[in-house]
């Protein structure tokens, strides 16, 4: 029986963004990563419309984390004190597409390290791995504004993805990212209007729209994921509808969010299965759900969760 055509003509698409700079482009990365480019909703239309395959950025912290559950810390036991070795392990052993260097240690409440330490870590990690980097501040505006410009400068020309900037704190990092040739992450607190507003603000400063990735903030499975899910779906529809201010690829922070929930951490939970299995699966499932809503870059932590999600991505986006 013949069935009707579903001919949807979208006027827009998700911007395609390339991270990292190889030697020819003035950097030192051995390869680049390109994301975005979808021309339809997830699983809509034909497979040709799906765009670039989503990628996984594995988190590396600038300082040894003191609050990671055993199940999460265990695979990294030998490298937690060395961000360079840690990053190398993520790339060589766990297949990370990108490394997200997260500067927790500069936070006033978590070590209050100064810029020189952050710069050193950045250079070490750049030297240890060839994949593109994401450079992510600690979340304290004042400290990020002090330290992240130095970090940016240390990675000048590498075409890193740097962030995050928000509605009420975007000027200094946007300016420096522009000067040092980096891409920018704009952040909004689960609010699609603010998300658009931040993009407008940074583009008013002359930052090119095609060099932005948006972060709508992330809720873990069971802890508000449906908000992030729907905002991402709405963002994709806005992009397809031709809204240039909403056409950026999307990044999610799945690792941090899923490992702080009780289902991932609680050791004594009869009937829930072993905690060693539960944590990775909570992280993997959170990532999978957000992929259904159109995530392009996913920050993750546990190698087993990464393996499960990579396996899924390769099944769906394989050519």
Partner 1 sequence: MALTGLEIFKLLPKTNCKKCGMPTCLAFAMQLAQKRAKLDDCPCVSEEAKQTLAAAAAPPMRLVKFGKGERGVQIGQETVMFRHEEKFYSPTVLAVTVSDKLTGEDLKKRIESINALQFERVGAKIGVNAIAVINDSGSADAFAAAAAQAGESSGLALILVSQNPSAIAAAVGKTAEATPLIASAKADTVEAMAKIAKENNCPLVAQAESIEALAELTEKIKSQGVEDIVLSLETRSLRDQLYGLSRMRALSLKKVFRPLGYPTLSFVTDGDSDQQAVAAASLICKYSGIVVVDTVEPYAFLPILTTVMNIFTDPQKPVQVEPKVYSIGEPDKNAPVLFTTNFSLTYYTVESDVEASRVPSYILVVDTEGTSVLTAYSGDKLNEKAVADAMAKYNIEGQVSHRKLIIPGYVAVMSGKLEEATNWEIMVGPRESSMLPKYLQEVWK
* Interacting residue ranges for partner 1, rule: CB under 8 A: 1-4, 6, 41-44, 47, 67, 109, 219, 221-227, 229-230, 233-234, 237, 260-263, 265, 271-274, 277-278, 280-282, 284-286, 288-289, 291-293, 304, 307-309, 311-312, 315-316, 318
Choice between 174 and 285, CB closer to partner 1: 285
> How many residues in the chain?
319
CB of 262 to partner 1, least distance (A): 6
CB of 9 to partner 1, least distance (A): 14
Tokens of 210: 């095609």
Tokens of 45: 């239309």
Tokens of 313: 């991505």
Choice between 122 and 235, CB closer to partner 1: 235
Choice between 145 and 230, CB closer to partner 1: 230
H-helix segments, the chain: 70-73, 83-92, 115-128, 141-154, 171-180, 192-204, 225-240, 254-258, 262-265, 275-292, 303-317
Choice between 21 and 250, CB closer to partner 1: 250
CB of 46 to partner 1, least distance (A): 8
d(CA 312, CA 283): 14
16-19/161-165 β-pairing: unpaired
Choice between 35 and 291, CB closer to partner 1: 291
33-36/250-253 β-pairing: unpaired
CB of 207 to partner 1, least distance (A): 27
CB of 290 to partner 1, least distance (A): 9
161-165/33-36 β-pairing: unpaired
DSSP string for 113-147: --HHHHHHHHHHHHHH--S-EEEE--S-HHHHHHH
CB of 263 to partner 1, least distance (A): 6
Choice between 15 and 40, CB closer to partner 1: 40
Choice between 234 and 244, CB closer to partner 1: 234
Nearest-CA neighbor of 60 among 102, 32, 29?
Answer: 102
d(CA 33, CA 19): 5
Choice between 171 and 262, CB closer to partner 1: 262
CB of 121 to partner 1, least distance (A): 22
CB of 237 to partner 1, least distance (A): 8
Nearest-CA neighbor of 176 among 133, 222, 216, 144?
Answer: 144
Helix, strand, or coil (residue 57) = strand
């Amino acid at each position: 029986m013949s069935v009707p055509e579903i001919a949807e003509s979208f006027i827009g698409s998700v911007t395609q963004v390339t991270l990292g700079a190889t030697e020819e482009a003035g950097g030192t990365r051995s390869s680049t990563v390109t994301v975005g480019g979808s021309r339809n909703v997830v699983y809509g239309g034909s497979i040709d419309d799906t765009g670039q395959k989503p990628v996984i950025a594995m988190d590396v912290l600038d300082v040894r984390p003191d609050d990671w559950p055993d199940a999460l810390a265990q695979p990294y036991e030998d490298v937690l004190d060395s961000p360079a070795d840690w990053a190398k392990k993520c790339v060589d052993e766990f297949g990370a597409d990108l490394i997200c260097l997260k500067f927790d240690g500069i936070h006033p409440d978590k070590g209050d390290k100064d810029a020189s330490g952050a710069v050193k870590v950045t250079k070490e990690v750049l030297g240890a791995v060839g994949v593109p980097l994401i450079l992510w501040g600690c979340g304290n505006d004042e400290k990020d504004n002090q330290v992240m410009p130095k970090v940016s400068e240390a990675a000048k020309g590498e075409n890193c993805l740097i962030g995050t900037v928000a509605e009420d704190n975007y000027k200094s990092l946007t300016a420096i990212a522009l000067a040092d040739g980096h891409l920018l992450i704009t952040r909004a607190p689960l609010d699609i209007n603010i998300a658009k507003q931040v993009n407008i603000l940074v583009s008013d400063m002359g930052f090119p729209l095609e060099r932005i990735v948006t972060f709508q903030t992330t809720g873990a499975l069971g802890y508000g994921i449906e908000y992030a899910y729907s905002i991402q779906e709405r963002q994709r529809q806005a992009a397809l509808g031709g809204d240039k201010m909403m056409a950026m690829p999307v990044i999610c922070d799945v690792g941090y969010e899923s490992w702080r929930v009780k289902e991932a951490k609680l050791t004594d939970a009869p009937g829930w299965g072993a905690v060693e299995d539960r944590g990775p699966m909570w992280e993997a499932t959170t990532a999978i759900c957000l992929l259904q809503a159109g995530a392009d870059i996913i920050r993750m932590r546990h190698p087993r969760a990464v393996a499960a999600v990579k396996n899924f991505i390769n099944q769906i986006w394989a050519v």
